[in-house]
Structure 1
């Protein structure tokens, strides 16, 4: 359960800027060197790895592999958000997660765990199981209790740019200026989060969610303009269709192209890469 001891005030050593660190349950995580978030989908229907890790044994083995390959954060996803995916309730998400969070924490106590959900109740469950980061693809728009719950937990919150409803999540919108639109959204949402007491905010521009190929390539070129130099940036382009479809390739056949784009965003200050292929991203960061 949430307790007073877990409502920590956040302070940063003078050598670290706010966008260079996050406070995860009292553990200060230095983002001066970029970190890798490895994707652990518990779903039967995710677009590239559905059904591979949807039991606890296979999920634990994959978590171990992600960590050995260089991930410091494991992002657990109980629900697919690809187009036409099955819609789950929070209760169904929690049932799917089971005891996996606590098992990973027991087996790999050094691992940071983020929980990919847009439900406040799933976050509460995950918090009591030991998660370190909230990864909400909805920006608080699909569950109005999310921001208040994030404030109660005092966990870092990943704020992603996305269309305002679950039903329109993947509707392609051509914005006059995609970077300006995303920063307007970030400005409004970060102000709301800060007012509620969420002190550690990570920004995700939302690659793969309701944006044209052209706009997403523009976003890659303009990553340096996101974040207002106040918040760390997470970039999630792994196996995304805006990369592979124009090339006539599959999601599993674009590693070289993806690593080139990773280098591009790292040069512009990206702090976290959310990826399926951890070993390859680790090599990219080592060579960066």
Structure 2
């Protein structure tokens, strides 16, 4: 092999390293978070009508207790959601979201300074409020569709932005669309939106293919099998399948009765490179991540 060829190899491997830097870490408010070990994101619903928590964690005291429990069980990110996005949930304005969050973010940060907080909202105004309160990550289920100021606000805060695939409007969020090729369609969407985000100056993007949002059971099973193709390996992937109906409905089970099936699917997506699992049951997901890590070595 000629010397010239070798130097060419070195150059290409260097540019590959640069391309995949996002993979190794994300920058949360100046804190580099290493993703070489997959992270668990625990769900903290602040919604009185949330379908699975039944509003048990509504008060500050129980929200702090739930956060403590999830952190002890192995979560490193806590995802705070003031608004339920399940089918037929009540629709909140940004102002109502901000009122519902109250001082929850700063309370959690004071109590658990090491925690990373992601804020689950599709409003730029709620993001600005959260940023001032100390959030670390923006988790927008709408891909910037429901608020045209979202991408600019993400760029201003310099926080990592979770880009989710979803139908283009709040009203159509849960309309089941049959895609000719689900993975191709999601990748076209990711490609377009990540270009837009990068052009606006958003540095850290995490991709979420949007399980549970307007997709058929068959398509979602195909997505599980083809997780490795999402985003062409350029960005870290977040997978949120916890208590989603595409798992429990075909089995004739309830949302709370599918742990074993869920963990099998979690393992499958980790083996394909998923970096963040968004879950209700942290302890069980932690066992799966540990199992994955022990097999990987």
Moved over 6 A (4+): none
Partners of 2:54 and 2:98 in 1: how far apart?
18
Name the counterpart of 1:118: 122
Pick the aligned partner of 1:271 from 271, 275, 286: 275
1:241 aligns to 2:252 (yes or no):
no
Pick the aligned partner of 1:178 from 172, 176, 182: 182
CA contact (8 A) 1:127 1:153 kept: yes
TM-score (norm 2): 0.91
Name the counterpart of 1:78: 82
Give the C-alpha shift of residue 147 in structure 1.
Answer: 0.3
Name the counterpart of 1:89: 93
Partners of 1:35 and 1:227 in 2: how far apart?
19
Name the counterpart of 1:250: 254
Structure with bigger helix share is 2
Name the counterpart of 1:51: 55
1:61 aligns to 2:65 (yes or no):
yes
TM-score (norm 1): 0.94
Partners of 1:279 and 1:217 in 2: how far apart?
24
Give the C-alpha shift of residue 230 in structure 1.
Answer: 1.1
Name the counterpart of 1:214: 218
Give the C-alpha shift of residue 50 in structure 1.
Answer: 2.8
Count of aligned pairs: 275
**What is the root-mean-square deviation in Å for CA atoms of aligned residues?**
1.0
Give the C-alpha shift of residue 54 in structure 1.
Answer: 1.3
CA contact (8 A) 1:75 1:114 kept: yes
Partners of 1:24 and 1:32 in 2: how far apart?
16
Give the C-alpha shift of residue 34 in structure 1.
Answer: 0.2
Secondary structure class of the residue paired with 1:80: coil
Name the counterpart of 2:194: 190
Give the C-alpha shift of residue 18 in structure 1.
Answer: 1.9
Partners of 1:203 and 1:125 in 2: how far apart?
23
Partners of 2:106 and 2:22 in 1: how far apart?
29
Partners of 2:206 and 2:56 in 1: how far apart?
28
CA contact (8 A) 1:36 1:278 kept: yes
Partners of 2:143 and 2:279 in 1: how far apart?
20
1:156 aligns to 2:163 (yes or no):
no
Give the C-alpha shift of residue 226 in structure 1.
Answer: 0.4
CA contact (8 A) 1:41 1:50 kept: no
The C-alpha deviation readout for 1:199-229, integer Å capped at 9, x for no partner, is 1000000000000000000000000000211
Give the C-alpha shift of residue 49 in structure 1.
Answer: 1.1
Pick the aligned partner of 1:141 from 138, 142, 145: 145
Please identify, of 35-44 and 46-55, the stretch whose mean Cα deviation from structure 2 is larger.
46-55
Secondary structure class of the residue paired with 2:220: helix
Pick the aligned partner of 2:110 from 82, 98, 106: 106
Partners of 1:110 and 1:278 in 2: how far apart?
17
